[in-house]
């Protein structure tokens, strides 16, 4: 799938298009009335009310400008130990790198890999196994990690506070990149290229950042897991059960929705299914998604 962004193009490379979690676990503070009211928008792509499941895609966005190719979030990877999530444990044959090539993107042509945050579904394809070692999957890329995000996770790892699932992701998909000398630690405001700047999006993790795109003809924000599901556009204060600071997550959403509504900025969250991205309209104290971008064939 592909959509234009000014003179750049964005290819959406899906690694898992139907990952489900019980709505009651994932969004413990959801407003059932809002779900009922907006059911026509939320079903079937984002919620399945009959089974009580919230539905997500795990996907990368490849942004190609005149001068560079940037892969944003690297999904799940293959061959990795994830016993806590059986469908992601020791996965094989996902076809992810083939889909990337079919979209016209050779892994060797990627200049930058940026991980919005360091959860396992955003770092997996950073590395692949070669002779029993984890080596970079994108041989010519620099990998950008948020300095605060990486330091927070390394601190959790050192002090034994990281959950085993997260610890494994760091050990097989992040630390090998640092040890190979391929990581650049970056801060809020860092410019990836002309019109491309990192924006802090705390709440889901402490150091999450997004990529704000400000081209002459297009504005967008690749906002990672600041938003998981359009339900949170109707209810911006709604964080997930996995967010480290639910209150700050709500503040982040209010801020990015207000700015997106004012400036016509397209939001590109990491896990939206359906049309994958949305414009935002202000609606009283809240907001509404407008799905007016329809990705076409790559």
Binding residues for Zn ion (CB under 5 A): 121, 225
| Residue 211 to residues 63, 85, 222, 224, 276, Cα–Cα distance (Å) | 11, 28, 5, 9, 16
What is d(CA 245, CA 204) in angstroms, rounded to the nearest whole number?
6
Cβ burial of 269 (10 Å; 0-12, 13-18, 19+) is buried
Which C-beta is closer to Zn ion: that of 136 or that of 169? 169
How near is the Cβ of 203 to Zn ion at its closest, in Å?
A: 13
Which C-beta is closer to Zn ion: that of 77 or that of 219? 77
- Do 259 and 241 touch, CB atoms closer than 8 A? no
Closest to 124 measured CA to CA, from 90, 172, 85, 87: 172
Which C-beta is closer to Zn ion: that of 16 or that of 288? 16
What is d(CA 110, CA 105) in angstroms, rounded to the nearest whole number?
8
Which C-beta is closer to Zn ion: that of 11 or that of 16? 16
Which C-beta is closer to Zn ion: that of 20 or that of 109? 20
How near is the Cβ of 96 to Zn ion at its closest, in Å?
A: 16
How near is the Cβ of 6 to Zn ion at its closest, in Å?
A: 26
What is d(CA 197, CA 194) in angstroms, rounded to the nearest whole number?
8
How near is the Cβ of 271 to Zn ion at its closest, in Å?
A: 6
Q: Dig out the tokens for 110 from the structure.
A: 């990627």
How near is the Cβ of 167 to Zn ion at its closest, in Å?
A: 17
């Amino acid at each position: 799938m592909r959509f234009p962004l000014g003179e750049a193009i964005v290819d959406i490379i899906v690694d898992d298009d139907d990952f489900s979690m019980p709505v009651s676990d994932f969004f413990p503070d959801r407003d059932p009335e809002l779900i009922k009211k907006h059911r026509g928008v939320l079903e079937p792509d984002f919620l399945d009310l009959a089974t009580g499941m919230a539905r997500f895609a795990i996907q990368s966005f490849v942004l190609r400008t005149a001068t560079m190719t940037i892969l944003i979030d690297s999904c799940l990877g293959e061959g990795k130990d994830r016993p806590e999530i059986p469908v992601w444990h020791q996965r094989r044959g996902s076809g992810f790198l083939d889909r990337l090539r079919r979209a016209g993107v050779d892994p060797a042509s990627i200049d930058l890999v940026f991980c919005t945050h360091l959860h396992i579904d955003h770092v997996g394809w950073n590395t692949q196994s070669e002779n029993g070692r984890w080596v970079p999957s994108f041989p010519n890329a620099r990998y950008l990690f948020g300095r605060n995000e990486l330091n927070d996770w390394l601190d959790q790892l050192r002090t034994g506070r990281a959950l085993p699932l997260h610890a494994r992701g760091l050990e097989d998909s992040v630390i090998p990149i640092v040890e190979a000398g391929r990581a650049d630690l970056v801060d809020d405001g860092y410019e990836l290229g002309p019109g491309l700047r990192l924006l802090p999006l705390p709440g889901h993790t402490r150091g999450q950042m997004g990529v704000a795109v400000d081209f002459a003809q297009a504005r967008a924000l690749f906002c990672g897991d600041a938003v998981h599901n359009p339900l949170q556009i109707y209810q911006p204060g709604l964080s997930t059960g996995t967010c480290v600071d639910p209150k700050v997550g709500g503040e982040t959403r209010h801020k990015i929705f207000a700015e997106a509504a004012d400036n016509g900025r397209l939001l590109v969250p990491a896990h939206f299914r359906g049309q994958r991205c949305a414009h935002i309209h202000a609606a009283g104290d809240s907001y509404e998604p407008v799905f007016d971008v329809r990705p076409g064939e790559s």
